């Protein structure tokens, strides 16, 4: 009774509390998609993708079209063969990462719900609470400091600051936040916005201001792995590769070129199963792991949190995308994700999803 008998794909448009500015552009709405997969036993699995064209290369319309085509491949197939199913849809629709994240998650969620296990158990662990950082978008220094203060007062101990624009402006923003919340651990994410020289200049100047950073995430363009390696040699701060790592093969290249200290394995780029493979590559190379997100609601965020809890492999957790939503499928606030099963544990209100 584990055969897939029905599937659906629908847009999931979620307003943000306010615009989010990064080095890649500004987002005002999460234009996501929700995939459902139903088995013959009546079990339903849910998956979400959050296409962001400047990151994933997909529009919402393209992601929905791909997901609908992918679900046609699934009908009549058995969710117990989830690895084969995921492999088939990924081979048929390469590069459509958000669409495939949603489809893959729906498959895994249905499988785990049928077995009565949490998704974390599929990855070798249990659904323990997962603590995330809070991201501060590109803002004026005083505004960023105010948001950082509010985040710390809400219980967040780790903050990630978006950077990657003018180095001087970025330094002032980071310094203002460090002064406002001196006990918070800070990391910065340049979203490919700098050159190696600019990264060195930024790191030197924040150090001169007495600011310690946990890491600098993807300072240079994703396709410049050599430049990333050069940056790592010159900067006395751990470097994280994000947009440079979509696949396990990408992770191997970063490892071989000694281009990063940390790999950011986002499920929205790679999918749950490939993130498990990337985690194994990082562990084998003695690199730290970070998990990130797009602008998913609790469906996508809790999927990622289950992988974090299941593998026990991640040193840095950046799963705050749903914190930026004015409304979401499931209410979720504060620094801790309390996850549960079966599956990823989130059953969305489909009527509300339909309205969005």
**In this structure, what DSSP letter does residue 326 have?**
S
Hey, CA dihedral for 65, 33, 300, 350, is it positive or negative? negative
Query: Terminus-to-terminus CA distance in the chain, angstroms?
Result: 32
Average pLDDT value for the chain:
94
The per-residue pLDDT for range 296-331, each reduced to its tens digit, is 999 999 999 999 999 999 999 999 989 888 876 655
Q: Would you state the pLDDT for residue 34?
A: 98
Q: From CA 118, how far away is CA 109, in angstroms rounded?
A: 9
Strands (E), the chain: 4-22, 25-39, 44-49, 130-131, 134-136, 158-162, 185-189, 216-217, 239-241, 262-264, 288-291, 316-317, 336-337
The pLDDT of residue 181 is above 90: yes
Q: Would you state the pLDDT for residue 229?
A: 98
Q: What is the mean pLDDT of residues 20-30?
A: 80
The pLDDT of residue 351 is above 50: no
Segments making up each domain of the chain, as ranges: 4-117+351-355, 121-350
- Short-list 278, 255, 259, CA closest to 267: 278
As a whole-number percent, the residues of the chain with pLDDT over 70 amount to: 97
Q: Which residues are catalytic?
A: 162, 266
Pull the structure tokens for residue 289. Answer: 């792991």
To which residue do tokens 């529009």 refer?
Answer: 59
Q: Would you state the pLDDT for residue 84?
A: 96
Q: What is the mean pLDDT of residues 279-297?
A: 96
Q: CA torsion, points 132, 269, 257, 224, in degrees to nearest 10?
A: -110
Q: Would you state the pLDDT for residue 332?
A: 64
The class (CATH top level) of 4-117+351-355 is alpha beta
Pull the structure tokens for residue 168. Answer: 């001087």
The per-residue pLDDT for range 210-269, each reduced to its tens digit, is 999 999 999 999 999 999 999 999 999 999 999 999 999 999 999 999 999 999 999 999
The pLDDT of residue 197 is above 80: yes
Least confidently predicted of 9-18, 177-186, 221-230, 323-332: 323-332
How does strand 288-291 pair with strand 239-241?
A: unpaired
Residues 22/191, Cβ–Cβ less than 8 Å: yes
The pLDDT of residue 121 is above 90: yes
Q: What is the mean pLDDT of residues 88-103?
A: 94
The pLDDT of residue 200 is above 80: yes
Q: From CA 121, how far away is CA 114, in angstroms rounded?
A: 13
CATH topology of domain 121-350: TIM Barrel (3.20.20)
Residue 20 pLDDT class (50, 70, 90 cuts) = confident
Pull the structure tokens for residue 245. Answer: 């790592």
């Amino acid at each position: 009774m584990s055969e897939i008998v029905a599937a659906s794909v629908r847009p999931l448009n979620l307003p943000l509390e306010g615009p989010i500015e990064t080095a890649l552009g500004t987002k005002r709405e999460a234009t996501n998609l929700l995939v459902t997969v139903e088995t013959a036993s009546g079990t339903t699995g849910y998956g979400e993708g959050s296409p962001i064209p400047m990151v994933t290369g997909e529009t919402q319309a393209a992601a929905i079209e791909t997901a609908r085509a992918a679900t046609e491949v699934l009908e009549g197939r058995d969710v117990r063969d989830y690895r084969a199913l995921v492999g088939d849809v990924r081979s048929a629709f390469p590069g459509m990462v958000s669409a495939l994240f949603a489809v893959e998650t729906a498959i895994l969620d249905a499988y785990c719900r049928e077995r009565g296990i949490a998704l974390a158990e599929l990855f070798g662990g249990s659904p323990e609470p997962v603590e995330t950082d809070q991201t501060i978008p590109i803002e004026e220094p005083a505004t960023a400091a105010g948001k950082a203060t509010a985040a710390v007062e809400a219980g967040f101990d780790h903050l990630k600051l978006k950077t990657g624009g003018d180095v001087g402006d970025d330094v002032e923003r980071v310094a203002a936040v460090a002064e406002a919340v001196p006990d918070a651990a800070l990391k910065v994410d340049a979203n490919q916005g700098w050159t190696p020289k600019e990264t060195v200049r930024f790191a030197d100047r924040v150090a001169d201001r007495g600011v310690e950073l946990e890491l600098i995430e993807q300072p240079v363009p994703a396709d410049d792995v050599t430049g990333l390696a050069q940056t790592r040699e010159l900067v006395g701060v751990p470097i994280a590769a994000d947009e440079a790592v979509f696949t396990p093969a990408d992770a191997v290249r970063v490892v071989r070129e000694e281009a990063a200290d940390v790999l950011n394995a986002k499920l929205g780029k790679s999918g749950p199963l490939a993130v498990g493979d990337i985690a194994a590559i990082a562990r084998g190379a003695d690199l730290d792991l970070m998990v990130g997100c797009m602008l998913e609601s609790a469906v996508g965020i809790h999927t990622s949190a289950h992988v974090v809890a299941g593998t026990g492999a991640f040193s840095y957790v950046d799963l705050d995308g749903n914190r930026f939503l004015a409304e979401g499928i499931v209410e979720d606030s504060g620094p801790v994700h309390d996850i549960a099963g079966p599956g990823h544990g989130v059953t969305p209100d489909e009527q509300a999803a339909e309205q969005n």
